[in-house]
Amino acid sequence: MTNNLKEKNIVLCVCGGIAAYKSAALLRLLIKAEAKVRVIMTQNAKAFVGPLTFEALSGQPVCTSLFDDREEGAIRHIEWANQADAVVIAPATANVIGKLANGIADDALTTFMLAVTCPKILCPSMNTIMYENRAMQRNLDILEADGYKLLAPGEGELACGTYGAGRLPEPADIADRLAHTLSPKDFKGKQILITAGPTLEPLDPVRFISNHSSGKMGYAIAGAGEYRGAEVILISGPTALPSPAGVRKIDVKTAREMADAVFEHMDKAHIIIKVAAVADYRPHETAVQKIKKNTDDMIVSMKKNIDILKEAGQRKKNQILVGFAAETQDLDKNAQKKLREKNLDMIAGNLVGDPSSGFGTDTNKVTLYFSDGSKEELQLMEKKSVADILLDRILKMVAENG
Ligand code: CTP
């Protein structure tokens, strides 16, 4: 996966809250990702974590005052603001939020923020009642309207002993949000329709026929597409996965529901990626009541479901259509046959059965087959990385398509 933080100038602003200790962990993550980080602290923050901690971790002097005797602080805040690719305020306290919402600049941090023009991420962290206070919410609305990206606090047990919203998000989530903010938006203006997960074909009110698809590959592509600026619609069968942030998710159960959703939304999409493991057959009839075990044998008569991808291949206009093929043998032959017969631009094939690749795993070993007859064998890698490579190849096809 591309490391969007590498070589980027980040300014980490730390305010005086108990969560300031988490900022040190955040700083470590950013440094590990090879970002160049400078830290600005309020006077109150110094009461929670010493500047020396941040100085040692960042390898740079920490700014705590406009009137620093080591360097010309009053000028430094303008220089840092000009050089920054992104700024993150974590934790952001009620006091600093109130000042920023009103343009008050009475210390190094708030003065610096007035000079910043790059993306700014604000991570409020405080007691739940303070967070829910109307003045606080009003201030957050103002800052959001001013262009700050808010990272909402998590819910949980707070340092003051209460339970509720107010916890600083985990350092990894803040770093992820920063990386997101800095990622190239090469899919801006593109709409991607993705299907993922299994479909589920009911036998009776309590039983169904389905498959082992976890949805991880499709969700990874949906997340990566959103990350890169696409407008993503994810049509998903039942999975245990959280919805990727910023993605419009449409939940379906059966192949027929999935087909209806795909055909309703496919016209507007520039790119259609069908990762879902659609059940090829459904029971002829779904019993209204629970089926009783009155006989030794049971025969279920099945009817073929619509091949959604094949139908999409017939309907597609100037759109990129991508399929997936999970095979147990003859990968090349089977994948290329599906590519041709379903009128696809690309198909991603993988052999299921390998414990590191396929259903339920976080990694996948995929071979990409293209409509010009060429193929590209990818190494075993994280599904997130497969998603990015897939999108890279799609972007190339979009460019060639005009
Ligand atoms: N697919 C679909 N509708 C179906 C079956 C499959 O849209 N009823 C799509 C899948 O989403 C996937 C591709 O077709 O992108 C290949 O699915 P796969 O199950 O591997 O192949 P099938 O076409 O169903 O053929 P077979 O089961 O005979 O291998």
Instruction: State pLDDT tens for residues 219-235.
Output: 999 999 999 999 999 99
Is 15 among the catalytic positions? no
Domain's final residue, options 148, 181, 214: 181
Residue 199 backbone zone (phi > 0: left; psi -120 to 50: alpha; other: beta): beta
Count of CB atoms situated within 10 Å of the CB of 135: 12
- Is 3 contained in some domain? no
DSSP 273-309: EE--B--SEEES---SSPPP--SS-----EEEPP-HH
DSSP reduced 3-state for 341? helix
Whether the bond between 91 and the residue before it is cis, its omega within 30 degrees of 0, is: yes
208 with 177, same domain: the answer is no
CA of 70 to the centre of ligand 1 (A): 66
Domain that holds residue 268: 191-401
Same domain membership, residue 255 and residue 169: no
255 and 173 together in one domain: no
Give pLDDT, residue 189: 97
Which of 75-84, 97-106, 331-340 is the least confident region? 75-84
145 and 30, same domain (yes or no): yes
Task: Name the residue at shortest CA distance from atom 3 of ligand 1.
Answer: 307
3-class DSSP state for residue 102?
A: coil
Q: How far, in Å, from the CA of 337 to the mean position of ligand 1? A: 12
The mean predicted confidence, pLDDT, of the chain is: 94
Q: What is the pLDDT of residue 69?
A: 58
Closest by alpha carbon to 275, among 341, 210, 313, 321?
Answer: 321
pLDDT digits (tens, 9 = 90+) for 110-119: 999 999 999 9
Residues with CB under 6 A from ligand 1: 255, 274, 276, 278, 280, 305, 307-309, 323-326, 338
Please check the confidence at residue 65 and state whether its pLDDT lies above 60. yes
Question: Do 267 and 336 reside in the same domain of the chain?
Answer: yes
Please report, for the domain that includes residue 250, its CATH number.
3.40.50.10300
Q: In the predicted model, what is the mean pLDDT of residues 170-194? A: 94
Indicate which CATH number applies to the domain containing 30.
3.40.50.1950
Spacing, Cα 379 to ligand 1 middle (Å): 23
β-bridge pairing 86-92 and 9-14: parallel
Q: Is the pLDDT of residue 75 over 70?
A: no
**Closest ligand 1 atom to 312 CA:** 7
Is the model's pTM score more than 0.85? no
Same domain, yes or no: 147 and 240: no
Domain assignment present for 2: no
Per-residue model confidence as pLDDT tens digits over 146-176? 999 999 998 888 777 778 888 999 999 999 9
Number of domains in the chain: 2
Please report the atom of ligand 1 found closest to the CA of residue 322: 15
Q: Do 74 and 154 fall into the same domain?
A: yes
Within this chain, do residues 245 and 273 fall inside the same structural domain, yes or no? yes
Could you tell me the distance, in angstroms and rounded to a whole number, from the CA of residue 272 to the centre of ligand 1?
Answer: 14
* Protein residue with least CA distance to atom 8, ligand 1: 307
Instruction: Kindly state whether residues 110 and 195 are assigned to the same domain.
Output: no
129 found inside a domain? yes
Report which protein residue has its CA nearest ligand 1's atom 19. Answer: 277
DSSP state at residue 268: G
How far apart CA 176 and CA 178 sit, in angstroms, is 5
Tell me what pLDDT residue 161 has: 77
Domain end marker among 181, 216, 237? 181
* Helix, strand, or coil (residue 27): helix
Q: What are the φ/ψ torsions at residue 100 (nearest 5 degrees)?
A: -65, -40
Asked if residue 173 lies in contact with residue 151, where contact means CB atoms within 8 angstroms, the answer is yes
- Using the mean position of ligand 1's atoms as its centre, give its distance from the Cα of residue 218 in Å: 14
Residue 70: per-residue pLDDT? 61
Q: What is the pLDDT of residue 172?
A: 95
At 258, the amino acid letter reads M
Pocket test for ligand 1, best of 278, 302, 327, 351 (most atoms within 8 A of CB): 278
Quick one: 174 and 195 in the same domain?
no
For residue 123, being part of any structural domain is answered with yes
Q: Does any domain span residue 186?
A: no
240 shares a domain with 170: no
The string of pLDDT tens digits covering residues 5-48 is 999 999 999 999 999 999 999 999 999 999 999 999 999 999 99
Q: Give the domain-ending residue among 163, 181, 199.
A: 181
Mutate to test the pocket of ligand 1, among 193, 260, 280 (most ligand atoms within 8 A of CB): 280
Identify the CA nearest to 282 among candidates 365, 352, 208, 373: 208
Strand partners of residue 243: none
Within-domain flag for 4: no
Residues 322-351, mean pLDDT to the nearest whole number: 96
Residues 177 and 195 in one domain: no
Active-site residue, selected from the candidate residues 13, 118, 123, 160: 160
Which atom of ligand 1 lies at the shortest distance from residue 262's CA? 7
In a domain, 372, yes or no: yes
